[in-house]
Each structure stands twice: as C-alpha cells, then as structure tokens.
Amino acid sequence: MTDIEDQVSFVVSSVERLLSQIDGDILSPTYGCAHLAYWRDKTSDVADTRRQEAMLPLALLFARRFPGSPFQGDVRLQRAVGALLTFWMRGQYTDGSHDEWYKGERAYAAAAFSAHAVARTLDVMREHLPRELLARAEASLARTAGWLMRRDDLFKTNHQAVGACALAWAGHTLKEPRYTNAAKEKLASIVRTQTSEGWFPEVGHMDVGYTFLTVEFAAMAMEVMDDHSLSDPFARAFDFATEWVHPDTTVGEEYGVCHNPYVSRIAVILMSRFSGRARRLRRMLDAGPVGFKGLRSTLADDLRLPRWAFQPLLAHEYSGRFPLPAEAPDEALPLARTDADSRVYALANLARFAVQGRPLVVAACAGGLTRFFGEEGRVLSDHGYAVETEDGYATNLTYDRAIQADDLGREYAVLAPLSPVRKFMPPFWARIALRVACSTAAGSRLARRCIDVVRKRKGTAINQSSANLKSSSRWALARSVRREDDRVILADTLRFDRPVRSDRISFLTANEDGVMTLTPVAVHLPGLSKTLTELTITKTYVPGPSWKLAGIRP
C-alpha cells in the first residue's frame, strides 16, 4: 500500500464519523450543519462554514470508485451532500461572504475554501442533485465567487491561492470566463509577494506547511485552467519547502509561524512535472505509508477531518491522471542525504548544515532549536532550556523570525530571549467587543485589519495557536553551533538579570518520538552554584547512523 492509498483508507474508514457530525433532521433549522458544537452541543454561537466542506469528499466517494470504498452510489452520501449544500447556502451573507471563527467575520478563508468545495461538488454531483437545489447552489456559488473577485488576502498567501483555485473551479463549473481571469490575476499577485528565498509570506513570516498548501491550491488552479505559465515560481516555492522535509517525509512544526507541519501529497503529484525533488518525494511516498504522523495535521480530529478529507481522494485521482515515468530524473531531499551540504536562509531564519554528510537543522526562529538527522528516521532534537519560575516556565523555545542569527562560516550564532511561556487565549471582553464590532460588514473589515496587526506583531496565527508567544525578556540564551570535521559543538550561555536557582534550570530535548523531556542540568553538571546569573554549557554531538550526545561540560 502506498502512502496515498493508506490515507484514502483512513478517509473511507472515517465516513460514518463524518456522517454522524451532520444534522440529519430534515425538520431542523440547522439541517445539514456539520458543526457539532453549534447544532448539537450549543457551545459555539457561530456555525463554522468550513466544516460544510465535508460535502466534497462525500461527493467524490458517492460518484467515483476508490480503493476499499463501499460508498459508491450510497444514497446516504447523496442526501448528506444535498443537506450540506443547503446549510452552506443558509449561512451565506447577502454579499456572498461566510463566517468561520466568529459571528460577522465575513472571512476570506471561509469563502475561498468552501467555494472551492462547492464548485467541485457541483461538478461531481451535477447529475445526482435535484434541479432546484442545483440551480440555487449555482447562484450562491456565483455570489461567493463575485465576493472573492473583489477582495484579496495576501496577508496569508495560502488564502489567496485558495481564492484563486475557488475562482478557477467556479469558472469551470459555471462556465464563466471572468472567474477564470480573476483566478489568473490572483495567482500573479501571489508570485509578486515571493521572497528571494522562494517562500510566500504568511502573517508576515514563513511557514513550511502553508507553503506546501499554497503550492497545492495554485497547482490545482493551474491544472483546471490548463495554464501552467506560472509553474516556475511555484516550483521554486515547493523546492524551498522540501528543504525542511525530514527523511520520514514529515516536517518540524517549529520551523514556521503557524506551526503547520503539512506536506501536501497533491502538490507532490502536480509538481512532479516541474521539480526533481517532487519526483523523489513522490517515490518515497509510493514506497509505503508514512502512517498517522503523515495525516495528523489534516485528518486527526473533528475540526480538520471535514475540511481536509478531500485531499487524499483528490491526490489519488491526480496520481492516476499523472503517472510518474519510471525514468524521470529526481533530486534527493537535503535532509535525507548522506552527503548533505549547508545552506543558510537568513529571511526565514533557518539553516541546515552537515558534518560528515549527516544533516542537521538550526532553527534560529525557534530560539536556536538544533535537530540532528540519522538513518531510518533517527532524530535527536536539542530545543534548548526551560527555567522554572513562580508562574510556570521561561524558555528560549518560541517562534520569532526576528531572533538574531549570524552565519560566521563554521559557526552559526543565535541570540534568543528566555521568555515566559504564554499561550494565546482571548479574554471575555475581547469576545464581546469582537461580536459588537462585526455586527456590520464595515466593522468586520476594520476588526480584521486590527487582528492582522496583532498577529503580525506577535508572530502567531492566533486562531488555532497553541505555541508559545514571543515576548521581550531580560533573560537570554546565546547559542553557538560550531561544526568541526567529526562533531558539532553547541556552546550555550544562559544569562539572567537576577540570581536564578540552578536546580530550576533544565535541558529541553526530544528523541525519535518527538516528545520533549525536561532533564535538570544538575544531573549532568553536579556541583553547580546554588544560584547563578550566568551559566555556560558546552555539548558535543557526534554524527553517525544515529547522532549521539558525546559529552556535556560547564
């Protein structure tokens, strides 16, 4: 079984779970709603339009044959698609916009992602839906497409790419050339934002998973329009994203602002015509399943499953349409090589190096995280340090692309704050203020602008953010990553503006399972002063099939 077949199997096994999340009471005012917290549990005051996207995987499974699927022609799926479309139309504002996270949001993402799903669903189900429902859905799709035509979201370029794909598919489904032309304009606008390193900005920063997603939707848009004139810049973005793909085809979430570890199978397939790395990654995925860690970011819970269950199904269809020639040349992924080279990306604040051909990543943007790659998925991660305080922990592990990093040849130096661990949680007053502000379309636009300013300043997506927020601190970690012929030496200096108990300072590390562990520094360095304002530690790592921590000394 290939990785894509494994993911298709997961989606097929989740169909009953998807159906159970939809309000199937035809007499209910929320008939067809796929947001359990809204229609059943009453814990949300807004129905997330994006969950209506479950219509697309159900439509595909109803109308087409997939490996191991017993659902082709299943009338339950046919009815569910009709119900999902009905509620999608009910949640639409008169201007064609939709909500995702809060009432009155009129979110670009909600309109773009859901319109993409609706356009493709209508294309698949045209002969299987009542004429009256089909006509109303087409009119609603046209309203949303018109709303998207008049707006851009280049603050998160993945949204712009989805908008382009939604318009391309609306143009295809509704036979309306102006939507197709608008899709081409949006793709061109994305290309204009591309950095010199190849990535597209997300919240003013870089995110690997969303780079893959941007390429995925741009590639699907180009495919349905049969216009690949912009394939080169998107292939370049794809190749940048593959710089950070681990040998097991996963990505470290710490590398990007949104902590999105998604690796797009659709992008891999569609970019195989333009990228040697895409061809290598495709062969790696065809060799066998990645398993749950390969689908965790898109299919693992009831928020993501309705939104992303279409991806493995479309990947399977695209792979059948575009088989990879056996003789097609490919290019090894940098972190999967045993003769790896070195590369520093100053704008992304990321670097990869090699000692004796064995690769390592230094994520300055994650406070100096240093990750070593061996053979057969062996990974060793040195995240840095955690200091226990009266209010929790302080750590260098946070996302901040502005963290100072200097490439000094054989040495890479990072200066990161040791800041208190804080997670975003909006206070009650903010929720009320947001609800009032978004009671009008103009207020919603103003609120979105203000939110985006905060997101960029804090370096976080805010919604779905579970990462430590960056903040200023008088405590700091100065880390030097020095490469010698047969080892890597981490020279760390922790500085505090007041005496700190040494027994409250811990190493923060992780092995192959990725689970971070705390180990008091005193375990390896007995005899430290009871309190200190500065601590210097030198750690030596040696390469091999499995990297080893060979020594720690003060």
DSSP assignment of 399-427: --TTSEEEE-SSEEEEEEE-EE-------
The residue behind tokens 């009338």 is 75
Query: What is each CA distance from 470 to 346, 348, 395, 396, in whole angstroms?
Result: 19, 16, 10, 9
Query: Any bridge partners for residue 525, and if so which?
Result: none
pLDDT of residue 471: 72
Q: Which long-range contacts (CB under 8 A, 24 or more apart) does 431-438 make?
A: 431/102, 434/102, 435/102, 435/103, 435/104, 437/104, 438/102, 438/103, 438/104, 438/105, 438/106
pLDDT for res 316 = 98
Tell me which DSSP letter residue 46 carries. Answer: S
* Mean pLDDT within 55-67: 98
The whole-angstrom separation of Cα 375 and Cα 124 is: 44
- Backbone phi, psi, residue 323, to 5°: -65, 150
pLDDT tens column, 409-462: 999 999 999 999 887 777 777 777 777 777 787 887 787 777 777 677 666 666
Instruction: Convert the pLDDT of each residue in 490-520 to its tens digit.
Output: 999 999 999 999 999 999 999 877 889 999 9
Per-residue pLDDT, averaged over 539-547, amounts to 94
**Range 167-193 average pLDDT:** 98
Which residues is 479 bridged to in the sheet?
A: 414, 492
The residues facing 415 across adjacent strands are 404, 478
User: What confidence tens digit (pLDDT) does each residue in 379-399 have?
Assistant: 999 999 999 999 899 999 999
pTM to 2 decimal places: 0.93
Round to whole Å and give the CA distance between 532 and 495. 9
How many angstroms from the chain centroid is the CA of residue 169? 23
**Is the pLDDT higher at 538 or at 470?**
538
CATH architecture of 3-321: Alpha/alpha barrel (1.50)
C-alpha to C-alpha distance for 304 and 215, rounded to whole angstroms: 19
User: Nearest Cα to 358, choosing from 376, 382, 331, 345?
Assistant: 376
Burial 93-113 (b: 16+ CB within 10 A, else e): beebbbbbbbebbbbbbbbbb
> Could you tell me which of 368, 374, 348, 475 has the C-alpha nearest to residue 411?
368
Tell me the average pLDDT across 71-89. Answer: 98
Cα(first)–Cα(last) distance of the chain, in Å? 50
Residue 109 near residue 100, CB atoms below 8 Å: yes
Boundaries of every domain in the chain: 3-321, 338-423+469-553, 428-458
The yes-or-no verdict on residue 464 having pLDDT over 60 is: no
CA dist 381 and 387 (Å) reads 18
* The pLDDT value given to residue 102: 85
The angle, 0 to 180 degrees and rounded to 10, between the axes of the packed helices 310-321 and 55-63 is 50
What does the alpha-carbon distance between residue 348 and residue 58 come to, in Å, rounded to a whole number?
38
Q: What is the mean pLDDT of residues 194-203?
A: 96
Q: Grade residue 325 by pLDDT with cuts at 50, 70 and 90.
A: confident
**Per DSSP, what are the bridge partners of residue 393?**
388
Residue 82 tokens read as: 């009709």
Quick one: pLDDT at residue 62?
98
Say how many C-beta atoms besides its own lie within 10 A of residue 222's C-beta.
22
As a whole number, mean pLDDT of residues 32-46 equals: 94
Enter the tokens of residue 197: 């390193």
96-119: average pLDDT:
95
Average pLDDT of the residues in 108-130: 97
Q: Do residues 160 and 210 make contact, with C-beta atoms less than 8 angstroms apart?
A: no
| Tokens read off for 454 | 């905060």
The separation between CA 276 and the C-alpha centre of its own chain, rounded to angstroms, equals 23
- pLDDT the model gives residue 288: 95
| Confidence (pLDDT) at 467 | 67
The candidate with the shortest Cα–Cα distance to 76, out of 89, 56, 54, 58, is 58
Strands 369-373 and 358-363, bridge-based pairing = antiparallel
Nearest to 91 by CA among 42, 43, 148, 52: 52
Residues 215-240: pLDDT tens digits?
A: 999 999 999 999 999 999 999 999 99
Percentages of the chain per state (helix, strand, coil), in multiples of 5: 45, 20, 40
> Is the pLDDT assigned to residue 466 strictly greater than 70?
no
